[in-house]
Structure 1
Amino acid sequence: MYAKCSKISEARCVFDRMPKRNVVSETSMVSGYAKAASVKTARLMFSKMRDRNVVSWNALIAGYTQNGENEEAIGLFSKLKGESICPTHYTFGNLLNACSNLSDLQLGMQAHSHVLKHGFQFQSGDEPVIFVGNSLIDMYMKCGSVEDGCRVFEKMEERDYVSWNAMIVGHAQNGCGVEALRLFRKMLVFGEKPDHVTMIGVLCACSHAGLVEEGRYYFLSMTEEYGLVPVKDHYTCMVDLLGRAGCLDEARNLIEAMPMQPDAVVWGSLLSACKVHHNITLGRYVAEKLLEINPTNSGPYVLLSNMYAELGRWGDVVRVRKLMRHRGVVKQPGCSWIEIQGSVHVFMAKDKRHPQRKEVYLLLKLLIKQMKRVGYVPDISEHEDGEEYSGPEQSSCDGSDTPSYVAIM
């Protein structure tokens, strides 16, 4: 009880006073420590257990996944298999979640093969099997393999609302807005009632597909047709939809009419839209709102500076940059990575530590020359630090977009 209520100190006191302990009490402590983000302590407790069952393994694998240590979760699953422990649907759910978080399709497909080996055939009437099927759909969608996610969905003889949500949200997140809305309509035909997650997927789909009128309709229908009260995430989706469509004043009015306090995410979405549509007046207002929430966040300063640069207002660019320095705000460097033949290459902005940096920069310069010959004109408005611009060769080689060129090599 104490462990489930996140009162791990009280749980430990009771545990230490127990004259006899068994696998149930020890597993409860492993689970409690994992939920309290003390995964190292959970692992230590797990390693000292004389008897372990699959529930013990599941508790620790879930702890790693929930705390973002996905590689550890996958490694622990391998050890589970090595000790001939038979995994359950809960084991596979956490394993697939770890693969989703890593966006590692190859690992996800390997996990799928383990699912099939253990006889999960997505048959009717088996709730654990539906759970695994839903986890598979979610994994494939988050890894960008929409076709594989659809294939799993079609093979499921029985589905629940989570299955439909995974498909709708997955299609929306992968830019297939029209298909997501088709699935939503099909879901209603099959008698499933939408929930808050469903409507986030629907609104996200409208945003990606540029369907403004449909988005407005579905937002209003949440309350009128489905009895759902919009929460902050729904408002954020609507602001994103209106911002992409250039309806900036409507987006601002919606934010200011929210029944809850707007956060940095919703204001940030509107600021990005202001930059895209070159609305510096509203952009300055939104940036001020963001700085009221978090004055040390570099994002609003940089976006506002870039907006001024696009308009050629270099004095304002310098003013914003000076304000950043005066307030001690430091821009976090951009980071990107790419996996090539099983090896992950990580690049930071202005980072020249890669062992093949000379070859990379040489290829970059050759590509830039070829691009300029066919009419490429560099956009200098987003130069990292507002310094005097030194040419595309310098800015491109120092940026964090190098992985795409490394892949060519």
Structure 2
Amino acid sequence: MEQRNLFSWTIAMAALSQSGEIHCAKAVFDLMPMRDLYAWNVMLSAIHENDSLDALVDAFTRMPERDPVSWNVMVTAFAQNGQMLQAMDLFLRMPRRNVISWTTMIGALSDCEAGRHDLKLDAIAFFDRMPQRNIVSWTAMVHASASADRLEEARILFDSMPARNLVSWNVFLAGSKDLSIETLEKIPAKDSVTLKTIMNWYCQTGRTADAKALFDRLPERDVMSWTCMIQVNSCQLDRAKFAFDLMPAWSVVSMNSMGAVFVTHGELAKAKKHFDLGQERNVVSWTAMIQAFDRAGEVEAAQRAFDLMPSWDEICWLAILAANSSDPEAVQRLFFQEIGSSKVFFDSSPERNALSWEALLQGTAKYGDLYGTMSVLEKMPAWSLLSWNLALAANARSGHVASLRRTFSTMPERDTVSFGTALAAFAHSGHGTDGILLFHVMLLEGVAPSDICFVHLLVACNHVGLLHEGLCVFSGMAGDHGVAPGLEHFCCVVDILGKVGRLEYARWLLENMPFVPDDVALGSLYGACVVHGDVEGARAALAAMTWDSN
């Protein structure tokens, strides 16, 4: 060019930065005879896209003047780097904020790392304080609510939008879990993103035929759409593999989807071969292999795969815990020791969450390891209702009724599982009267009993020989509590009748109940007949058991 002006210098710099040539773009910027605010902002955006955060801060500091565009770039950069407090501080220090500034902050808060729902909820507070809103800010808010699993709020916000565009629809569809055909028919126009989102919803809701039909209509097919077809055909291994083989290219997501299909069908050898062929692996890839080894019963191989992983997340922790769940000591080692000399286990992991803690509790409580369970509970930062219930289960399985009483009495809240666990412990440890009293407490607290609760209650009545109370409980199941008696409940009543010597009533109930008597029911009658000297009745019950087994 014979003569360069400020505009041409800036265009050259922008072109270089867009092609990733950040060093050349910086050189052009340094050679510019003069710079205006627009040129500085172009350079700032280039550094944001292609260089480090430190370099961006240095450029921002050297700017002779700044406008909302400059500040918005900085807020976005800090947020994307996970430094939300610094991003918030920059936003509050901005001398002027426009609708883009507010929307940038909402988007940053809604895109914060998974699990940080406290920050996602701050996005809602920001939206409420906005002096003005546009379609972009409304769409960002719908995304924020959906990301925080506030799906009903996302729907209300979407319905309240003064105007919607295709981006708004796509954001709403991607965050919704209960779409309907009526909702889909309201979309004024559909682009490839919309069609792929709808196809993904078809996959998740089991509408495989609709997903396949929509796949055939796609104007262009990318990795996401092909991956959906793998998931659609996941129940049929051959079809899923056929779709995978037809793909023009594979991504780590499509590789993981196909690997998950092999794992689901128990094809360990194929899953291993598929894993070895993958040129790129992430945590999901490794986790699938851990699950494959676990399903095949190869716990040591699962542990080796876990040890080789470059990094871990909550899901892979749960997978390896599930693989080791039959060995409480191994589960304890996973949480409180180290791998080799460099890799630190869960106890020092920054990504541990309630789900991971509760997975460990399930591993210890499942085998009645009361000491291990209480050790984990002491380390947990907070206890949920599930945590309390697992502590009850550990006490019940280890037979520590007194400890169970103390745990149950100190629970801040109790549900059907809590009462059912305590009922089972009392009923099967000879504390039948306590079990009956606990059932009345359950009703007073407004907790609805389940069918399993009634089984434990009838067992409690049986152990203390309370025929009248047992019959009252049985007769009131459907009428008073809306729980239909099942075979197990009938067997309990037969056992109660037999224990108190009402053999004719027990036989009548067996013959007239709406279930075919099994060996448990016939065995209860046989034992009662033997105890009470009814030889003929015992022979008849024994003959019925022999006939049933034949």
**TM-score in terms of structure 1 length:** 0.62
Query: Alpha carbons of 1:75 and 1:158: their partners in 2 closer, same or farther (altered >3 Å)?
Result: same
Which of residues 306, 317, 321 is equivalent to 1:81? 306
Q: Does 1:202 align with 2:422?
A: yes
- The alpha carbon displacement at 1:208 in A equals 4.2
SS of the residue corresponding to residue 257 of structure 1 reads helix
Q: Does 1:250 align with 2:469?
A: yes
Aligned residue in 2 for 1:298 = 519
Q: String of CA shifts for 1:178-227, please: whole Å, max 9, x gaps.
A: 32232122221xxxx323322222322333455556544543444543x5
Contact 2:430 2:463 in 1 (8 A): yes
Q: Partners of 2:309 and 2:490 in 1: how far apart?
A: 51
- The alpha carbon displacement at 1:238 in A equals 2.0
Query: Alpha carbons of 1:313 and 1:222: their partners in 2 closer, same or farther (altered >3 Å)?
Result: closer
Aligned residue in 2 for 1:152 = 376
Q: Partners of 1:273 and 1:329 in 2: how far apart?
A: 24
Contact 1:177 1:208 in 2 (8 A): no
Q: Does 1:267 align with 2:490?
A: yes
- The alpha carbon displacement at 1:166 in A equals 0.6
Q: String of CA shifts for 1:70-93, please: whole Å, max 9, x gaps.
A: 724x24422313534544333332
- The alpha carbon displacement at 1:63 in A equals 6.7
Query: Alpha carbons of 1:284 and 1:92: their partners in 2 closer, same or farther (altered >3 Å)?
Result: farther
Q: Partners of 2:409 and 2:508 in 1: how far apart?
A: 39
Q: Does 1:317 align with 2:538?
A: yes
Q: Does 1:284 align with 2:483?
A: no
- The alpha carbon displacement at 1:302 in A equals 2.9
Contact 1:168 1:198 in 2 (8 A): yes
Aligned residue in 2 for 1:93 = 318
Query: Alpha carbons of 1:21 and 1:288: their partners in 2 closer, same or farther (altered >3 Å)?
Result: farther
Q: RMSD of the alignment, in Å? A: 3.7
SS of the residue corresponding to residue 254 of structure 1 reads helix
Contact 1:3 1:32 in 2 (8 A): no
Q: Partners of 1:33 and 1:240 in 2: how far apart?
A: 44
Contact 1:122 1:155 in 2 (8 A): no
Aligned residue in 1 for 2:456 = 237
Contact 1:120 1:129 in 2 (8 A): no
Aligned residue in 1 for 2:265 = 38
SS of the residue corresponding to residue 39 of structure 1 reads coil
- The alpha carbon displacement at 1:171 in A equals 1.0
Contact 1:30 1:59 in 2 (8 A): yes
Q: Partners of 1:18 and 1:205 in 2: how far apart?
A: 56
**TM-score in terms of structure 2 length:** 0.48
- The alpha carbon displacement at 1:167 in A equals 0.2
- The alpha carbon displacement at 1:147 in A equals 1.6
Q: Partners of 1:30 and 1:323 in 2: how far apart?
A: 50
Higher relative contact order (CA 8 A, sep 6+): 1
Q: String of CA shifts for 1:104-126, please: whole Å, max 9, x gaps.
A: 44444454455786342389xx7
Query: Alpha carbons of 1:302 and 1:99: their partners in 2 closer, same or farther (altered >3 Å)?
Result: farther
- The alpha carbon displacement at 1:273 in A equals 5.0
Gaps of 5+ in 1: 331-409
Query: Alpha carbons of 1:149 and 1:26: their partners in 2 closer, same or farther (altered >3 Å)?
Result: same
Q: Does 1:130 align with 2:350?
A: no
One-letter amino acid matched to 1:136? L
Name which one, 1 or 2, has greater alpha-carbon Rg.
2
Contact 2:495 2:521 in 1 (8 A): no
Q: Does 1:26 align with 2:26?
A: no
Contact 1:30 1:43 in 2 (8 A): no
Which of residues 273, 278, 283 is equivalent to 1:47? 273
Contact 1:46 1:56 in 2 (8 A): no
Q: String of CA shifts for 1:267-299, please: whole Å, max 9, x gaps.
A: 334445556666534543454467x4245x333
SS of the residue corresponding to residue 71 of structure 1 reads coil
Q: Partners of 2:351 and 2:310 in 1: how far apart?
A: 22
Q: Partners of 1:16 and 1:232 in 2: how far apart?
A: 48
One-letter amino acid matched to 1:28? S
SS of the residue corresponding to residue 121 of structure 1 reads helix
Aligned length: 311
Aligned residue in 2 for 1:178 = 402
Q: Partners of 1:115 and 1:129 in 2: how far apart?
A: 19
Query: Alpha carbons of 1:5 and 1:322: their partners in 2 closer, same or farther (altered >3 Å)?
Result: same
One-letter amino acid matched to 2:424? C
Aligned residue in 2 for 1:407 = none
- The alpha carbon displacement at 1:29 in A equals 4.1
Contact 1:181 1:205 in 2 (8 A): no
Contact 1:251 1:270 in 2 (8 A): yes
Q: Partners of 1:54 and 1:270 in 2: how far apart?
A: 52
Query: Alpha carbons of 1:313 and 1:61: their partners in 2 closer, same or farther (altered >3 Å)?
Result: farther
- The alpha carbon displacement at 1:127 in A equals 7.2
Gaps of 5+ in 2: 1-199, 209-230, 235-239
Aligned residue in 2 for 1:71 = 297
- The alpha carbon displacement at 1:254 in A equals 1.9
Superposed structure 1 runs of 4+ greater than 6 Å apart: none
SS of the residue corresponding to residue 352 of structure 2 reads helix
SS of the residue corresponding to residue 239 of structure 1 reads helix
